[in-house]
A and B are shown apart, each in its own frame.
Chain A
Amino acid sequence: MKLRIKYIFTELKNMSCFVYLFSTICMILFALDFMLYRHGNHPLESIPGFYAFYGFIGCVLLVIIAKWLRAVLMRPENYYHKTESKIKVPYNNSEAENVDL
């Protein structure tokens, strides 16, 4: 029993349940826009679903543009390291690379 609770996020069935639940919450939030009164300082704010659309479209654009940027900006991991590794440093504790001393 304990194991099943522990690994709740890995099972595919649970994941699709989670996605459905999440989408339902989003739809409810969207619907609330029509039910609750909302004051705003800006004309855009009074459009129903403005924040929802802005958040969604903004993030999709963010990821797509970032993917394009990768084509321009991405280099191998040791891109800078090649030249730097020729120079000797005072101490180089490569075993301590990832741990506190």
Chain B
Amino acid sequence: MLIFELPPFAPFLIIAFIVLFTRGRVSSALMLMAPIWGAFNLWQINPQTVWQITLFELQLNPFRIDKLSLIFGYIFHLAAFFSIIYALHVRDRVQQISCLIYTAAALGAVFVGDLLSLFICWEFMALSSVFLIWSRRSQKSFFSGLRYIVYQFISGLLLLIGTLLYWHKNGSIEFSHIEFQGLGATLIFIAFGIKCAFPMLHTWLTDAYPEATPSGTVFLSALTTKVAVYALARSFAGSELLIYIGAIMTCFPIFYAVIENDLRRVLAYSLINQVGFMVVGIGIGTELALNGAVSHAFNDVLFKGLLFMSMGAVMHMTGRINGSDLGALYKTMPKTTVLCLIGAASISAFPLFNGFVSKSMVMTSVLNQEYYGIWLALLFASAGVFHHAGIKIPYFAFFGKDSGLRAEDPPLNMLIAMLIPAALCLAIGIYPNILYQFLPYSHDYSPYDQSHVLAQTQLLFFAALAFVWLNIKGIYPAELHSTNLDFDWFYRRLLPSLWSTLINKIFFVDRFVRQVVLNRLRLILLIIKRFHRPNGIFSNAQTISNMTLSIVIILACYLALSFI
């Protein structure tokens, strides 16, 4: 029993430091200990604890705990636990250390009480997580990682500048509700928005997550965006702008997901779609909506982690992840298939699965606040998410045409890691109170009423019917090897080509100017040469008498001038 309380990130950092000096099974065992120790420590901490440090005249608040941060703390520990089990077979020191530091930084971020400490955690998250992408050690992942880290640093810088401006204006850097006015607040909002994958700022996510290692993606999907959701819920709850941003986030990625071939990229798009539901909930800002957003974040960590793990298992066993290369894997990977189907049913919010009990809170609160247009958009997105994440992922990986691949189920540690969130998805779906008791605001909401269950089941079954019908008619787009243009085209294609055009123009002008100047110089040299060549005017040998004559002429001129 530990007598003293540690801040929640400390166990992970301490273990990360020890893992540096161990190897093999010892470091695996130590890594498994980190979330267990951390969870035990978090459970012991007095909920009213607040730590304060005064740095010069700044009141820093590196540790503050309340119900909102506590639920994120719990889910991060849980996510770290199953992700570490999933990665137990990985013997890569870089990944082991960076995933521990990454989790520590995310935990730090949800338990800080001031914006400056948040900024420090924010940067640590960016720095440590990029190694999970680079650990793939391929050309593609290297460049994706670079773009990822640039985005994260821009977000961090905006947060820092915003914090300074906010401090200047309000005289406080407390990390609590921020009035959405003034440049400082706007910059902080955009900084959170980048991490939250707002539309047009989202491409780092769909670019980098599918390029990370199979186990790295599980960590990435659980932490970064959820920290951003937490930050928005803490600071900008009730901002109407978020409702519209969130609605766009739910709708546009599903189109991309339908035509995307890389199944982990499909999941990355559907991650944006799910975060959109949370952002709408935060924008509505009522207690029911915030509870919905937070519980959906909790559930998303479970089912998205499960789906990323099942696709990671497919990739680990077959070496392929494109829908066009996979198919009919259920024959040899039955366990993975069942686990993936549970994740797919959960993300689609089938009754009795956990997505249903949290998404319905957001939907109900949108209806209660009479945002009918938004409600229709979310309903469309709900049907769409079932279409691409619920059907497309399992169908193209495990069913569909036979690819001839005969991969076995993945190693035991991966199966156990997938079993944990799968069991929780079902448990929370069946007994929602497991989750509801931890929610930050009090409410009495029951997702299971007859009309709601019937409505959701009809929506999903007819969405599935549409898939079946389109497939039989042959309208459903085939999986093709391709790259789909997204907003990243602007900085991966347009900007570089503009830049090279500009550089070419500069070179051209530069060469032209040099040419002209050189030509002039050559002309002058030619003239000089003409006078100095043999028998030229200046190269004749001069006799002394000529010299004397010239001097006499000069002196005579001088004399003549003196008379004037």
Instruction: List A residues at the B interface (Cβ < 8 Å).
Output: 6-7, 9-10, 19, 22-23, 25-26, 29-30, 32-33, 36-42, 45, 49, 51-60, 62-67, 69-70, 72-81, 83-85, 89-94, 96-101
11 sample A-B contacts, Cβ–Cβ < 8 Å, listed by A number: A9-B330, A29-B461, A54-B383, A58-B379, A59-B387, A63-B387, A66-B255, A66-B256, A70-B482, A76-B482, A100-B92
- Beta-carbon contact of B143 and A84 below 8 Å: yes
User: A-facing mask of B309-323, CB < 8 A → 1, else 0?
Assistant: 000000110011100
- Beta-carbon contact of B454 and A38 below 8 Å: yes
Residues of A within 8 A of B493 (CB): 80
Which of chain B's residues has its CB closest to A97's CB? B138
Interface contacts beyond A62-B258, A73-B484, A74-B485: sample of 7 additional A-B pairs, CB < 8 Å, sorted by A = A42-B367, A58-B463, A59-B466, A63-B476, A76-B483, A92-B137, A99-B316
Q: B177 → chain A, closest Cβ, in Å?
A: 28
- Beta-carbon contact of B143 and A63 below 8 Å: no
Tell me the dominant secondary structure on chain B's binding face: helix
Q: A12 → chain B, closest Cβ, in Å?
A: 12
Closest 3 pairs between A and B when the two form their complex, measured CB to CB: A59-B466, A38-B451, A55-B462
Which of chain A's residues has its CB closest to B215's CB? A100
For window 462-495 of B, CB contacts with A under 8 Å fall at 462-470, 472, 475-477, 480-486, 492-493
Assess whether B136 is interfacial by the CB under 8 Å rule.
yes
Which of chain B's residues has its CB closest to A88's CB? B139
In angstroms, Cα B485 to Cα A73, docked, is 5
- Beta-carbon contact of B402 and A101 below 8 Å: no
- Beta-carbon contact of A38 and B455 below 8 Å: yes
In angstroms, Cα B473 to Cα A63, docked, is 13
Q: A46 → chain B, closest Cβ, in Å?
A: 10
Which of chain A's residues has its CB closest to B334's CB? A6
Assess whether B153 is interfacial by the CB under 8 Å rule.
no
Which of chain A's residues has its CB closest to B382's CB? A55
Known: A79-B483, A81-B140. A101 touches B135 (CB 8 A): yes
Partner of A101, one of B90, B258, B459, B483: B90
- Beta-carbon contact of A22 and B468 below 8 Å: yes
In angstroms, Cα B429 to Cα A62, docked, is 28
Residues of B within 8 A of A29 (CB): 454, 457-458, 461-462
Partner of A58, one of B143, B383, B399, B483: B383
Residues of A within 8 A of B380 (CB): 54, 58, 62
The count of residues in chain B whose C-beta lies closer than 8 Å to any C-beta of chain A is 74
- Beta-carbon contact of B255 and A52 below 8 Å: no
- Beta-carbon contact of B454 and A36 below 8 Å: yes
In angstroms, Cα B142 to Cα A97, docked, is 11
Residues of B within 8 A of A36 (CB): 450-451, 454
Residues of A within 8 A of B418 (CB): none
Q: A68 → chain B, closest Cβ, in Å?
A: 10
In angstroms, Cα B328 to Cα A6, docked, is 11
Residues of A within 8 A of B465 (CB): 22-23, 26, 56
Which of chain A's residues has its CB closest to B449's CB? A39
- Beta-carbon contact of B137 and A98 below 8 Å: no
Q: Which of A78, A94, A101 has the most CB of B within 10 A?
A: A101
Assess whether B214 is interfacial by the CB under 8 Å rule.
yes
In angstroms, Cα B342 to Cα A90, docked, is 40
- Beta-carbon contact of B328 and A10 below 8 Å: yes
Assess whether B24 is interfacial by the CB under 8 Å rule.
no
- Beta-carbon contact of A55 and B466 below 8 Å: yes
- Beta-carbon contact of B139 and A94 below 8 Å: yes
Which of chain B's residues has its CB closest to A85's CB? B139
In angstroms, Cα B465 to Cα A25, docked, is 10
For window 162-177 of B, CB contacts with A under 8 Å fall at none
Residues of A within 8 A of B375 (CB): 42
Which of chain B's residues has its CB closest to A84's CB? B143
In angstroms, Cα B472 to Cα A74, docked, is 24
- Beta-carbon contact of B475 and A64 below 8 Å: yes
User: A-facing mask of B25-59, CB < 8 A → 1, else 0?
Assistant: 00000000000000000000000000000000000
In angstroms, Cα B331 to Cα A7, docked, is 6
User: A-facing mask of B212-232, CB < 8 A → 1, else 0?
Assistant: 011100000000000000000
- Beta-carbon contact of A94 and B462 below 8 Å: no
Assess whether B345 is interfacial by the CB under 8 Å rule.
no
In angstroms, Cα B320 to Cα A73, docked, is 23
In angstroms, Cα B481 to Cα A73, docked, is 13
- Beta-carbon contact of B461 and A55 below 8 Å: yes
- Beta-carbon contact of B319 and A98 below 8 Å: yes
- Beta-carbon contact of A74 and B462 below 8 Å: no
Known: A22-B464, A32-B454. A65 touches B255 (CB 8 A): yes
Known: A54-B379, A73-B485. A89 touches B139 (CB 8 A): yes
In angstroms, Cα B442 to Cα A25, docked, is 38
